[in-house]
Structure 1
Amino acid sequence: MGRITARRRVTRLTVGGSRVVREDHLSVEEPLEIRVGGNSLAITMRTPGHDVDLAAGFLVSEGVIRRGDDFAAARYCVSAEGNSGADGTNTYNVLDVTLAAGVPAPDPSLERNFYMTSSCGLCGKASIDAVRTLSAYEVAGDRSTIDPALLITFPDILRAHQDVFEKTGGLHAAGLFDAATGELLVLREDVGRHNAVDKVVGWALKENRLPLRGTVLMVSGRASFELTQKASMAGIPVLAAVSAPSSLAVELAVELRMTLIGFLRGDSMVIYSGTERVREAQPAIEPAQASPLERETAGAR
């Protein structure tokens, strides 16, 4: 797993039972400084891997870029502020993005005053008003629908593809599904759920798939305001989570006419907004009752 996981000796203690010392796998958490044109924009605590996707998705979420052509290149560089090894080598924790010619640089007001922790992607915003970002893609007009029998399979598919979670038990996941076929298009893991979503959106940007009409974003944790906004910025009409949404997430989904689903577990779910996109479940078809004549004929055979 390289830099994605680390090994550590731990003691597993069972009250009234044994004390066992063994090696355990931990999810790696390291800072990533995102620069644009050499200027620092934000620092996020993330799990290394798919960093270019993460930076691209972050820029989509902030409204800086909206198409794959807007993103020209990205390269790792050595930081003079300590994000390099003791010998000055590149630790791959600073990523400098080059925007395409003609794409405006980020507004200086976007620069985060504080780093983003793995649990908070909005930390450092100057004000509540700055949190709200208008999307270039309207989801209200997306008329795609999904079969609930297909939707309830997504959590198990997501879990089955969480390779790093299987080792560590410590990562969030975000998966993008085709609403019509149920195909898993991409999955990303990270210690930060907002980072996992940014990595998915960044992948879609690089694949020139934005806006992501007719898709479902499935997340392994709760549905927050931030994840709802990130979905809207990518034009995703349906956000589903295995846990609960927040009140602000629901309010935003209602405002945007996005479908928001929580507690997607087993064979049930709670739809908080956009019920019209989830088709009516088809009742189970009972076997037809045989007529008396058919039963008599069958008994005579």
Structure 2
Amino acid sequence: MSAPVFLPPASYEYTRVQRVTGAERREADDILAAEEPLEIRLGYGPAGQREQRTLAVTMRTPGHDLELAAGFLLTEGLIRSRADLTGLLHCPDVQKPEERENVVRAELATAAALDLPRLERHFYTSSSCGVCGKTSIAAVHAAACPVLPADGPLVPAAVIHELPERQRQAQAGFEQTGGLHAAALFSPAGELLLLREDVGRHNALDKLIGAALLADELPLSRHVLLVSGRASFELVQKAAVAGIAVLAAVGAPSSLAVQAAQDFGLTLLGFVRQQRYNIYAHPWRVQGVNE
């Protein structure tokens, strides 16, 4: 498992602001989290008859774009394993200067099973809301979501309390801008293994899962995931696809997230901060708590 890494300089932008303290106002420099569109294109089909189409456009923080594309393809059920991908690259043949480094093409293996009706939806995603336009919960459940095995990891209750601070200390982007979400992967003993940041919660998790996919480290069944915001249905679904059995969130879960966690066999924690948290589903993986 690779170590946490800092975001590249392209992830930040600088601006002038008027900073107000009490009744005083002064000019100052500020650092912003960059947000730019990333177009994900898909190449597929038999040799000699390859086709290409735009799959999705997502508003993201530049950096780890290939991981983001790989994680998105996996968590949306368009690929099932690393073997389904034969190539990932930033497209060199863009027409506009602003598209440079903002278009990624994923090449599928000729043997990869592709659900063409899913492609016809032409996903549009945003940094704030995840995948939009889903017509039914059933369609999301069909995106390769497994029922997780009824085993570990078993996580000491005290370790859960330590995760937010360990995540925060590794968040270089948040420290600079205050505007980035994080998804962090820990061992059951609380060791930080991998962290990704993005202006969007869903993108941060797709980057993390994509990094594990490209390193052939899936499923992440022996790990604990902490996300910096609330726990939505999409985050639970993405975690389940990656085989993650314990998902902790600094914020609140939604009702659909709790229902999905119960259905998928995933342990879901919310409000993990200030030495407290709630367990919403499958509490048996958290050990050492007096009942």
Q: What's the TM-score once normalised by structure 1's chain length? A: 0.86
Mapped contact 2:55–2:119 kept (Cα < 8 A): yes
- Aligned residue identity for 1:123: C
Q: Identify which of 62, 65, 75 aligns with 2:76.
A: 62
Distance 1:79 1:31 in 2: 17
* More displaced stretch, 196-205 vs 64-73: 64-73
Residue correspondence of structure 1 range 165-184 to structure 2 within 5 A: 165-179=174-188, 181-184=189-192
Distance 1:202 1:129 in 2: 24
Deviation at 1:78, TM superposition (A): 4.9
Q: Does 1:8 align with 2:22?
A: no
> The residue matched to 2:230 in structure 1 has which SS?
coil
Deviation at 1:115, TM superposition (A): 2.5
Deviation at 1:79, TM superposition (A): 6.5
Alpha-carbon spacing, 1:228–1:33, altered in 2? closer, same or farther (3 Å): same
**RMSD value, Cα:** 2.0
Residue correspondence of structure 1 range 1-301 to structure 2 within 5 A: 1-15=8-22, 17-37=23-43, 38-78=52-92, 84-85=96-97, 91-113=100-122, 115-135=124-144, 137-179=146-188, 181-281=189-289
Mapped contact 1:50–1:199 kept (Cα < 8 A): yes
Mapped contact 1:158–1:175 kept (Cα < 8 A): yes
Deviation at 1:128, TM superposition (A): 4.1
Distance 1:219 1:158 in 2: 9
Mapped contact 1:224–1:249 kept (Cα < 8 A): yes
Residue 296 (structure 1) aligns with: none
Distance 1:278 1:157 in 2: 19
Percent pairwise identity: 49
Instruction: Note the alpha carbon deviations across 1:23-74, whole angstroms, 9 max, x for none.
Output: 1000000001111102111110000100111011001111122222222211
Computing the radius of gyration over CA atoms, which structure comes out larger, 1 or 2? 1
> The residue matched to 1:196 in structure 2 has which SS?
helix
Mapped contact 1:62–1:133 kept (Cα < 8 A): no
Distance 2:216 2:127 in 1: 27
Instruction: Note the alpha carbon deviations across 1:177-221, whole angstroms, 9 max, x for none.
Output: 112x32211100001100000011101111111111111110000
Distance 2:286 2:215 in 1: 27
Mapped contact 1:76–1:95 kept (Cα < 8 A): yes
Q: What's the TM-score once normalised by structure 2's chain length? A: 0.89
Mapped contact 2:146–2:264 kept (Cα < 8 A): no
Distance 2:127 2:261 in 1: 23
Alpha-carbon spacing, 1:103–1:114, altered in 2? closer, same or farther (3 Å): closer
Mapped contact 2:55–2:122 kept (Cα < 8 A): no
Distance 1:127 1:193 in 2: 22
Distance 2:39 2:120 in 1: 12
Greater share of strand residues, 1 or 2?
Answer: 2
